[in-house]
């Protein structure tokens, strides 16, 4: 049995109203004198009210290319990652020396040595901690990280694993780029981090969170073009096809039903849907194809409104909020799910 015992989210200090970010994007991404009505409409319809950024808004037009943005990323990711891991371990009543496995995931910056390696000495993790840095999974990585750590912990005796996600999406916004994909990205994505502590069977930590019952990974052939990065000297240029909600509508219901059936469950049996906040159109697609009851994704939509889409960190913030605000009855099933580049999905069945 693998159990989630603590989740902690961390956000950078600079918090902004959506309108202020829209004004920053107009200054840095649109040509001088350009009509900004399309930008204003995209940002107003994103379902986002506020977001956090790692830099003050006035400093983004000073970032000159991939190198400058990545320097900011490395420094901030270590600081924010340390805050997230420390907070999660404190909630779990554990110390850094208790950690046997540390998985780190990101898709918004590159560091060698990796961020997890830089945290070992800073946090007091053991020198023999097993580390696994993961790059490229994007938004799906929060759910995939929980699933892969469950795979590792299954069959081990009493180990502690930590998943750390740090995503500084604002550093990937492209200056002088008025493309629809960049404008949508600047409307949705924010900065943040999250850490999850999981324990294997036999660990003495009190059972405060849900059990991980099973997982499913699914890659959809022929959809690799709908989401990702183009890596250029200017930085990470977003690939974001308008067809993403259509891919969700075509595939998700069949995947969820096929995943739940061997466990004797149907979608109507799920007490809590812990869903990544991909954006309003994606959430509408999930709601429609799964025939979810009204309010089933309220926590997800609230997270999108309050902090934006944090890529891989987002579903972990939704998990934290579910634990703290809408914990279901013990023994009831929940489903943690996210989608991302590939195009792919990751499903994690929980028992509360």
What is the per-residue burial (b if ≥16 Cβ within 10 Å, else e) of 298-318? ebbbbbbbbbbbbbbbbbbbb
Helix crossing, 280-289 with 298-307: angle to 10°?
Answer: 170
**Which positions are catalytic?**
139
9: left (phi over 0), alpha (psi -120 to 50) or beta: beta
Dihedral of CA atoms 259, 339, 346, 326 in degrees, nearest 10, equals -80
Helix crossing, 18-29 with 37-44: angle to 10°?
Answer: 150
Sorted by sequence, the CB contacts under 8 Å of residue 151 that are 6+ apart come out as 215
CA distances from 175 to 25, 219, 228 (A): 8, 32, 18
* Side-chain-facing half-sphere of 242: CA atoms under 13 Å: 4
Q: For 125, which DSSP code?
A: -
CA distances from 216 to 101, 221, 224, 290 (A): 21, 16, 19, 17
């Amino acid at each position: 049995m693998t159990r989630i015992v603590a989740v902690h989210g961390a956000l950078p200090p600079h918090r902004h109203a959506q309108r202020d970010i829209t004004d920053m994007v107009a200054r840095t991404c649109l040509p001088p004198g350009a009509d900004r009505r399309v930008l204003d409409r995209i940002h107003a319809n994103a379902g986002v009210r506020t977001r956090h950024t790692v830099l003050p808004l006035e400093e983004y037009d000073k970032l000159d290319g991939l190198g400058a943005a990545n320097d900011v990323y490395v420094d901030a990711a270590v600081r924010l990652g340390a805050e997230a891991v420390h907070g999660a371990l404190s909630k779990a009543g554990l110390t850094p020396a208790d950690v046997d496995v540390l998985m780190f995931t990101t898709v918004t910056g590159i560091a060698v040595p990796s961020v997890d390696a830089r945290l070992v000495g800073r946090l007091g993790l053991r020198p023999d901690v097993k580390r696994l840095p993961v790059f490229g999974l994007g938004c799906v990585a929060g759910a995939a990280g929980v699933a892969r750590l469950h795979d590792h912990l299954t069959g081990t005796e009493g180990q502690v694993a930590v998943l750390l996600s740090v995503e500084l999406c604002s550093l990937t916004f492209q200056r002088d780029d008025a493309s629809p994909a960049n404008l949508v990205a600047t409307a949705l994505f924010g900065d943040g981090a999250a850490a999850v502590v999981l324990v294997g069977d036999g660990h003495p930590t009190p059972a405060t969170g849900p059990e991980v019952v099973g997982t499913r990974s699914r890659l959809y052939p022929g959809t690799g073009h709908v989401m990702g990065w183009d890596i250029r000297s200017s930085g990470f240029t977003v690939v974001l096809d308008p067809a993403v909600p259509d891919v969700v509508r075509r595939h998700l219901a069949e995947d969820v039903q096929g995943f739940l059936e061997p466990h004797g469950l149907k979608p109507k049996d799920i007490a809590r849907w812990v869903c990544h906040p991909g954006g309003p159109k994606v959430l509408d697609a999930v709601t429609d194809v799964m025939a979810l009851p009204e309010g089933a994704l309220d926590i997800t939509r609230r997270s999108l409104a309050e902090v934006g889409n944090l890529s891989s960190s987002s579903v972990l913030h939704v998990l934290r909020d579910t634990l703290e605000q809408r914990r279901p009855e013990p023994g009831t099933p929940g489903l943690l799910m996210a989608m991302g580049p590939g195009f792919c999905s990751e499903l994690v069945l929980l028992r509360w």
